[in-house]
Amino acid sequence: MTASPTILKLGGSVLTEKTDTPTPKPAAISRCAREITSFITSTPPAGVDGPLILIHGAGSFGHPQAKEHGSPDGFTNFGIIEIHRAVTSLNDLVIEALVENGVPAAAVHPFGCMVAENGRIAEMETAQIGMMLARGIVPVLHGDVVMDRKTGASIISGDQLAAYLVVRLKAARVGLGTAVDGVLADGAVVPLITRANFESVRPHIQGSEGTDVTGGMLGKVLELLAIEIDINSYIFNASKENVIAGFLSGGEPGTRITRIAGTTETTEMTGAAHE
């Protein structure tokens, strides 16, 4: 792999209605695909290069099923299979929209290439992802149920997966698109969260208004703050037109998260394209 990849996660709240049964938002799925297509097919602006790794959340294609089948004794076999089949059917819709728009996109299901330990990623085969990126195929991963050494099976969120791949694949930047403008405090977007100011912002951050078994907004912020390399992560509103496109072309939408302030350059400082 030559250039460092960009990792984009599209929240299940963007692609689906977070109801109790699987309900896709076809117009949103195809708009996201179009915004990604224009990034893939255009010449990147200065300072922005590298291939794209796409991850999506589960929304109503996984969270309600995981909630229903989770129990103190763990998931049943058919529970595991129902959760996995639900999220892979959303994955099919995302890939179909990308391929229809001319993006060579292919599924990488965590269930088939990952092992967890107590709900955290313990092992993952990623050689195939590097090989796909090298020839221009966009891997499309997702939050999933995976086999777990300690608990039998557990849910790995797209947010945890994004943070893991940042380190494993040495990503340049990572964006988590969701259906709100960023991390909000008293109705306003918090521009920057670091390990230093997290405790002061923490009281404003909850889980999710919808069914979400992986911690909603708090889960996202904790995953990004725990990344042990200096990288800028962004949480932004992918339900609004052109925000994904802005992020992909070097913009800094929503809330920026980095472990220590001052260790990561922003595009403001480099003078590159800005949203």
- Binding residues for Mg ion (CB under 5 A): 212
Distance from the Cα of residue 178 to its chain's centroid: 9
Other CB atoms within 10 Å distance of the CB of residue 70: 17
Q: Which option in Mg ion, ligand ATP, none does residue 158 bind, with CB closer than 5 to 8 A by kind?
A: ligand ATP
> Residue number with the shortest CB distance to ligand ATP?
57
Nearest CB to ligand ATP, comparing residues 50 and 158: 158
Nearest CB to Mg ion, comparing residues 35 and 212: 212
Cβ at position 171, least distance to ligand ATP in Å: 18
Cβ at position 213, least distance to ligand ATP in Å: 8
> Residue number with the shortest CB distance to Mg ion?
212
Cβ at position 240, least distance to ligand ATP in Å: 13
Cβ at position 268, least distance to Mg ion in Å: 28
Distance CA 15, CA 23 (A): 9
Q: Which option in Mg ion, ligand ATP, none does residue 109 bind, with CB closer than 5 to 8 A by kind?
A: none
* Residues that bind ligand ATP in the complex, under the rule CB under 6 A: 11-14, 57-59, 63, 158, 178-180, 183-184, 204-206, 208-210, 212, 214, 216-217
Q: Which option in ligand ATP, Mg ion, none does residue 179 bind, with CB closer than 5 to 8 A by kind?
A: ligand ATP
- DSSP3 helix / strand / coil % (the chain, rounded to 5): 35, 20, 40
Nearest CB to ligand ATP, comparing residues 91 and 208: 208
Cβ at position 12, least distance to ligand ATP in Å: 2
Distance CA 213, CA 46 (A): 39
Q: What H or E segment, with its residue span, contains residue 146?
A: strand 144-148
Nearest CB to Mg ion, comparing residues 212 and 223: 212
List helix spans (H) across the chain.
Answer: 12-15, 26-41, 63-69, 77-100, 110-113, 127-134, 158-168, 198-201, 216-225, 243-248, 267-270
Q: Which option in ligand ATP, Mg ion, none does residue 51 bind, with CB closer than 5 to 8 A by kind?
A: none
Sign of the C-alpha dihedral, residues 56, 169, 269, 220?
positive
Q: Which option in ligand ATP, Mg ion, none does residue 251 bind, with CB closer than 5 to 8 A by kind?
A: none
Distance CA 211, CA 64 (A): 6
Nearest CB to ligand ATP, comparing residues 210 and 251: 210
For 227, the token pair is 């990344």
Nearest CB to ligand ATP, comparing residues 187 and 271: 187
DSSP string, 247-260: HHTT---SEEE-SS
Nearest CB to Mg ion, comparing residues 144 and 212: 212
Q: Which option in Mg ion, ligand ATP, none does residue 249 bind, with CB closer than 5 to 8 A by kind?
A: none
Q: Give the per-residue SS3 of 149-167.
A: CCCEEEEECHHHHHHHHHH
